[in-house]
Structure 1
Amino acid sequence: ALTLQSGVRTMAARHEFRHKLKTRAATKIQAYWRGYSAISDYKKLKRASLVYQSKLRGRIARRQLGQASQGDRKEETENERKVEVSIQAEDELDKTFVVHSEQSDDAESGDEQKPKLSI
Structure 2
Amino acid sequence: MEYVIHEERRLSFFEKYLTGWVILCIGVGIALGKLFPQVAVVLDQISIYQVSIPIAICLFFMMYPIMVKIDFAEVIKAGKTPKPVILTLFVNWCVKPFTMLAIAWLFLGVLFKG
TM bracket, shorter-chain basis: under 0.3
TM-score (norm 1): 0.26
TM-score (norm 2): 0.27
Q: Larger RCO: Structure 1 or Structure 2 (Cα < 8 Å, ≥ 6 residues apart)?
A: 1
Whichever structure has more helix as a proportion of its residues is: 1
